[in-house]
Amino acid sequence: MGCKVFELLFWVSSVLCLACFARAFTPADNYLIDCGSPTNTTVGGRLFMADILASKLLSAPKNVIGNTSKAVTSSDDSPLYQTARIFTGVSKYAFSISQRGRHWIRLYFYPFVYASYDMNLAKFAVSTENHVLLSSFSVQAPLVKEFSVDVTTNSLAITFSPSENSFAFINALEVVSVPDQLIPDGAKSVKSSVGFQGLMWQALETVARVNMGGPTVSVENDTLWRTWVPDQHFLVENNLALSISNTRAVNYVAGGSTQEIAPNSVYGTCTRMNSLSDPNSNFNVTWVFDVDPGFQYLLRFHFCDIVSNALNQLYFNVFIDSSMVVQDLDLSTLFNVLAAAYYMDFVTESAASNKLRVSIGPSDLRGTYPDAILNGLEIMKMNNSDGSLTGLGTVNTSGSSSKKKVSAIVGVSVGVVSGVLLAGVLFMFCRKRKRLARHRQSKTWIPISINGGTSHTMGSKYSKGTTASLNSNTGYRIPFLAVQEATNNFDESWVIGIGGFGKVYKGELNDGTKVAVKRGNPWSQQGLAEFQTEIEMLSQFRHRHLVSLIGYCDEKNEMILIYEYMENGTLKSHLYGSGHPSLSWKQRLEICVGAARGLHYLHTGYAKAVIHRDVKSANILLDENLMAKVADFGLSKTGPEIDQTHVSTAVKGSFGYLDPEYFRRQQLTEKSDVYSFGVVLLEVLCARPVIDPTLPREMVNLAEWAMKWQKRGQLEQIIDPNLTGDIRPNSLRKFGETAEKCLADIGVNRPSMGDVLWNLEYALQLQEAVVRGDPEENSTNMIGELSPQIKNFSELDPTAFSAQFEVSSVDDLSGVSMSKVFSQLLKSEGR
């Protein structure tokens, strides 16, 4: 049974993978300038514009002191290196930015001698408005410097400032948009269990970009015009490593990495521990990189298990300097497929030395073969607290007003320079610095649990360190005998569901109360933590829209949970596949509103936010009146804080619903639930499974497919045919917008559950009543004639709005009815 699931997932991901080849990123801003060149130059299929076309971007007066005619050069040289622009005073390129966000800045340097200017002697600084990129910079060998900065206005200025009595130069320049998802806002920290936040605002300089075990991947062959260099130069002991290549195996899986994050020529090769001849091998494979002390670095590890031929074969550890950052990593548990492309980001502390070591080594787990792989590695320097990427400069905000600005365009012969390999020298530029030896104490941090997931739920379900105590809840304990009686001795014909945890039986207590009895597999240690979590959560949280726990039984090693019986089963079964009559749009909206209320209460109704972590249509149950209640709290956790003390933060949740950001960073927030709920909304609208491998490939993943239509403004094309004619266009529009916001790539851009609730209420109002005013105008915030309780929330003060919700949550508490049920139970069971 487990195998079938793996096969299915494998198949699904292969299909998804095919779908992602079709996409190619088109940068909104794409300035490529061949400085000093009289003509356009095409390199790697990209057109670098002639200097004259770019000169309007330059704010310096152009004092042209050289001519721009090209000399004959060796064919090995990049055509971009034949000309340069020389700046003898502070000069500024001002680019107008059409789409804010992260942009590459690539600076090409190729020093040569023109007239009295020996560019090997040039010394200068380069800065943007907010960041110093280079200072006291001089260059004696061909070099491309790559930076990326977040642009928050509609312009970006790049300023060249010559040092005293010197000049600046540049051969070519790129300012190009970067896809938003390339650098997410958060990453893990090497030394602390609290992740790093705020990467979005960091200026980054590429220090190394390495294709482990493979050849150079050049600009032409990279999805974002990056260069990846081979790893041999960085390896400490070449004989400890093997190079492996299997590019065709690479799977791009939803929630994992993408072609843009790294192409399959990177994921399809790896450097592997050379242990095949000796099963007792015990060593690390280590690479060393030159870094500047005093700066923090972002390390991105690219993994793709192209060496295993079965799941759960490869376990290894990953180190940054002396810190173990991942222990017993089993890549196959992340997606339950082999060769899924995946990456992990870590932010280091301020570097104490001028060397950064990265190692992989075998796991200590008994019964595993010593082995380890790494497919790619990127090291990016982060700006310091002055916003600078260099130790010397600070941003000069006093501007460039009074200085005399002079620039020169030159062309020159570079004929005899021997074959310059752009890529090979790209990141070799290193400064020798005094070694600051400071020993750091080692502390390990283990983000990934080794327990393999089976069933429909992904990843390990067992969290070490769960502190749930049953003692405070002994009042809910029900004798095993009573449970046996209630379920006709676990009559197989009374089974109403089977989940990852075990079977669910229908039952009836002595007093006639109908119950659902969930019986965990008694031999499953994995379920214990979930069992405890669920009892703990449900005995604390009482809400009309959360399924109520009536009691539990832990006699004889049993793990049995007894819930109120939900007459109408799961929301999912009413949407597709079960032959239930189709629900009306109004009914569906009411169900969504109810479920949103339950989740909103979980997120806000208690001192610490509770994150459900497994929101899906199968976990939203319907009572006899089709009122929605959120169920299955086995994976729930309180707020982000709790992860600081927990050892395991393995990714949990269900395939197709999983927040891509959580998947990558394994950092949990309420917004992960919001994402999953967004998927549920689409399920409700389209009445189809979230992953359906039988469909044409662009339709397999519901969230991706529906968002395509939503972005085109044609969501109505794909709604459940049963709803045609039933949905008012405005209600659909509001609903579609709400789902879209929930599915924002980045958590901070998603609405809170309270906002979602409010938007769904509004969609319901739009369906039920005629809203006055032009709905096109007021689709986001303003509302016209609504029911009184909605109107209360509409006062423009957002704090009043959330306060209203708090009150409404408290009103929703149904603890009274619960204790009634419970006292009946006590009476009838005579305890």
Ligand X SMILES: *[C@@H]1O[C@H](CO)[C@@H](O)[C@H](O)[C@H]1NC(C)=O
Cα–Cα distance, 671 to 154 (Å, whole number): 29
| 136 contacts ligand X (rule: CB under 6 A) | no
| 283 contacts ligand X (rule: CB under 6 A) | yes
- Binding window for ligand X (CB under 6 A); candidates: 47-55, 458-466, 517-525, 654-662: 47-55
Least gap, CB of 276 to ligand X (angstroms): 17
Cβ partners under 8 Å of residue 830, min gap 6 = none
* Interstrand relation of 342-347 and 620-622 (parallel, antiparallel or unpaired): unpaired
Question: Using CB atoms within 10 A of its CB, is residue 806 exposed (0-12), middle (13-18) or buried (19+)?
Answer: middle
> Which of 220, 555 has the CB closer to ligand X?
220
Residue type, 106: R
Residue type, 267: Y
| 194 contacts ligand X (rule: CB under 6 A) | no
> Which of 130, 274 has the CB closer to ligand X?
130
List phi, psi (to 5°) of 686: -100, -15
Least gap, CB of 39 to ligand X (angstroms): 6
| 396 contacts ligand X (rule: CB under 6 A) | yes
> Which of 13, 83 has the CB closer to ligand X?
83
> Which of 282, 817 has the CB closer to ligand X?
282
Our separate counts of H helices and E strands in the chain read 17, 40
Cα–Cα distance, 63 to 68 (Å, whole number): 13
| Residue where the block lists tokens 């300097």 | 321
Rounded to 5°, the CA angle 526-527-530 comes to 120
- Binding window for ligand X (CB under 6 A); candidates: 151-159, 378-386, 424-432, 776-784: 378-386
| CA distance to 181, 294, 499, 742, 761, per residue, from 757 (Å) | 27, 46, 28, 11, 6
Among 7, 76, 220, 567, indicate the residue that binds ligand X (CB under 6 A): 220
Least gap, CB of 383 to ligand X (angstroms): 4
Cα–Cα distance, 149 to 304 (Å, whole number): 28
> Which of 398, 724 has the CB closer to ligand X?
398
Contact by Cβ (8 Å): 25, 60:
no
Least gap, CB of 258 to ligand X (angstroms): 19
Query: Nearest-CA neighbor of 751 among 742, 739, 762, 740?
Result: 742
Q: Which helix (H) or strand (E) holds 242?
A: strand 241-245
Among 82, 159, 359, 390, indicate the residue that binds ligand X (CB under 6 A): 359
Q: Which helix (H) or strand (E) holds 326?
A: strand 323-329
Written as six digits, the tokens of 186 are: 């958060």
Least gap, CB of 428 to ligand X (angstroms): 19
Cα–Cα distance, 649 to 635 (Å, whole number): 11
> Which of 221, 779 has the CB closer to ligand X?
221
> Which of 86, 766 has the CB closer to ligand X?
86
Contact by Cβ (8 Å): 84, 114:
yes
Query: Nearest-CA neighbor of 651 among 498, 463, 467?
Result: 463
Cα–Cα distance, 725 to 714 (Å, whole number): 15
- Active site (annotated) includes residue 614: yes
Least gap, CB of 447 to ligand X (angstroms): 17
Cβ partners under 8 Å of residue 797, min gap 6 = none
In three-state secondary structure terms, 726 is coil
| 521 contacts ligand X (rule: CB under 6 A) | no
In three-state secondary structure terms, 104 is strand
Among 403, 440, 443, 791, indicate the residue that binds ligand X (CB under 6 A): 403
> Which of 12, 422 has the CB closer to ligand X?
422
* Interstrand relation of 46-50 and 30-34 (parallel, antiparallel or unpaired): parallel
Angle between helices 798-812 and 585-604 (to 10 degrees): 100
Does 70 show up as a binding residue in the annotation? no
| 369 contacts ligand X (rule: CB under 6 A) | no
Least gap, CB of 359 to ligand X (angstroms): 5
Among 322, 469, 540, 749, indicate the residue that binds ligand X (CB under 6 A): 322
Least gap, CB of 344 to ligand X (angstroms): 17
Written as six digits, the tokens of 702 are: 């519901």
List phi, psi (to 5°) of 535: -65, -45
Contact by Cβ (8 Å): 640, 667:
yes
> Which of 359, 669 has the CB closer to ligand X?
359
| 130 contacts ligand X (rule: CB under 6 A) | yes
- Binding window for ligand X (CB under 6 A); candidates: 42-50, 332-340, 447-455, 815-823: 42-50
Catalytic residue (one of 292, 554, 614, 673): 614
| 443 contacts ligand X (rule: CB under 6 A) | no
Cβ partners under 8 Å of residue 415, min gap 6 = 71, 72, 73, 74
| 384 contacts ligand X (rule: CB under 6 A) | yes
> Which of 283, 490 has the CB closer to ligand X?
283
| 382 contacts ligand X (rule: CB under 6 A) | yes
| 387 contacts ligand X (rule: CB under 6 A) | yes
Residue type, 495: V
Contact by Cβ (8 Å): 387, 150:
no
Contact by Cβ (8 Å): 306, 371:
no
Tell which positions 632-691 bind ligand X, by CB under 6 A: none
- Binding window for ligand X (CB under 6 A); candidates: 277-285, 469-477, 616-624, 659-667: 277-285
First to last CA, the chain: 41
Least gap, CB of 95 to ligand X (angstroms): 14
The dihedral sign for the CA sequence 389, 394, 397, 403:
negative
| 201 contacts ligand X (rule: CB under 6 A) | yes
- Binding window for ligand X (CB under 6 A); candidates: 164-172, 379-387, 655-663, 778-786: 379-387
Among 383, 407, 532, 759, indicate the residue that binds ligand X (CB under 6 A): 383
- Binding window for ligand X (CB under 6 A); candidates: 137-145, 183-191, 272-280, 394-402: 394-402
Contact by Cβ (8 Å): 586, 732:
no
Query: Nearest-CA neighbor of 184 among 199, 201, 169?
Result: 199
Between 1 and 40, how does the x/- string for binding to ligand X read (CB under 6 A)?
Answer: --------------------------------------xx
> Which of 361, 775 has the CB closer to ligand X?
361
Cβ partners under 8 Å of residue 790, min gap 6 = 761, 762, 765, 783
The size of the interface with ligand X (CB under 6 A), counted in residues, is 31
Tell which positions 64-123 bind ligand X, by CB under 6 A: 67, 69, 71
Least gap, CB of 386 to ligand X (angstroms): 8
> Which of 410, 685 has the CB closer to ligand X?
410
| 767 contacts ligand X (rule: CB under 6 A) | no
Tell which positions 449-488 bind ligand X, by CB under 6 A: none
User: HSE of 149 in the Cβ direction (CA atoms, 13 Å)?
Assistant: 24
| 159 contacts ligand X (rule: CB under 6 A) | no
Least gap, CB of 287 to ligand X (angstroms): 12
Between 784 and 823, how does the x/- string for binding to ligand X read (CB under 6 A)?
Answer: ----------------------------------------
Least gap, CB of 399 to ligand X (angstroms): 6
Cα–Cα distance, 643 to 650 (Å, whole number): 11
- Binding window for ligand X (CB under 6 A); candidates: 93-101, 335-343, 382-390, 813-821: 382-390
- Binding window for ligand X (CB under 6 A); candidates: 392-400, 565-573, 711-719, 762-770: 392-400
For ligand X, the binding residues (CB under 6 A) are 39-40, 47, 49-50, 67, 69, 71, 130, 201-202, 218, 220-221, 282-284, 296, 319, 322, 359, 361, 382-385, 387, 396, 398, 400, 403
Q: What amino acid positions are annotated as catalytic residues? A: 614
Task: Enumerate the known binding-site residues for ATP.
Answer: 518
